[in-house]
């Protein structure tokens, strides 16, 4: 979940350098599989809270991770593509407004909270734009009239006119 709001700030320069490299490597090939863990992982390598391979805030971090996995219907140890995991975290936690109930007590909440609000606003603006610029202008059928689901959308579109 933290990747979705990360903006290069972190516990130390070593941490942010490493975090940036991890994210770049995952984004280079989002189809690569990641193993889900609620303990210290690859992200923790250069974190000052990592004391000999164990996080000194583990209780809190474990609670966040477990709640995210539960919301996404995933389990620890599961392997899943980074793309699928990112998409699930977005749809099952952030888009459902669960982020703050999961990690409101995190010290970085002041960064993630406004970004979460902004991403909700963007989705709303996008859906309003699609309605006003495509559906309300009667362009849907010219865009996707040959879709196999057209028979479902066409009467709904007519009802909204």
Binding site for ligand SF4 (CB under 6 A): 1-2, 5, 40, 43-44, 47, 49-50, 55, 57, 61, 64, 103, 106, 108-109, 112
Residue number with CB closer to ligand SF4 (54 or 127): 54
Cβ neighbours around 38 below 10 Å, total: 18
Q: Give alpha helix (H) positions in the chain.
A: 13-28, 58-71, 82-89, 99-103, 109-130, 140-144, 150-160
Residue number with CB closer to ligand SF4 (21 or 156): 21
Would you say 88 and 74 are in contact if contact means Cβ atoms under 8 Å apart? yes
Shortest reach from residue 23's CB to ligand SF4, in Å: 13
Shortest reach from residue 70's CB to ligand SF4, in Å: 15
Shortest reach from residue 11's CB to ligand SF4, in Å: 6
Residue number with CB closer to ligand SF4 (97 or 145): 97
- How far is residue 143 CA from its own chain's centroid? 29
Shortest reach from residue 48's CB to ligand SF4, in Å: 7
Residue number with CB closer to ligand SF4 (5 or 85): 5
Shortest reach from residue 52's CB to ligand SF4, in Å: 11
Residue number with CB closer to ligand SF4 (103 or 140): 103
Helix (H, G, I), strand (E, B) or coil at 17: helix
Distance CA 86, CA 125 (A): 22
Helix (H, G, I), strand (E, B) or coil at 34: strand
Contacts of 50 (CB under 8 A, 6+ apart): 40, 44, 56
């Amino acid at each position: 979940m933290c990747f979705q709001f990360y903006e290069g700030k972190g516990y130390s320069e070593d941490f942010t350098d490493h975090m940036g490299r991890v994210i770049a490597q995952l984004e280079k090939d989002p189809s690569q599989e990641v193993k889900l863990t609620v303990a210290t992982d690859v992200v923790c390598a250069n974190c000052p809270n990592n004391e000999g391979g164990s996080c000194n805030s583990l209780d809190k971090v474990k609670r966040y991770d477990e709640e995210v996995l539960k919301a996404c219907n995933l389990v620890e140890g599961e392997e899943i593509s980074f793309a699928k995991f990112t998409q699930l975290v977005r749809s099952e936690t952030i888009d459902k407004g669960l982020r703050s109930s999961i990690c409101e007590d995190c010290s970085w909440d002041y960064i993630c909270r406004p970004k979460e609000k902004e991403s909700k606003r963007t989705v709303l603006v996008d859906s309003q734009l699609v309605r006003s610029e495509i559906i309300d202008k009667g362009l849907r059928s010219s865009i996707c009239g040959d879709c196999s689901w057209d028979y479902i959308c066409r009467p709904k579109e007519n009802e909204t006119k």
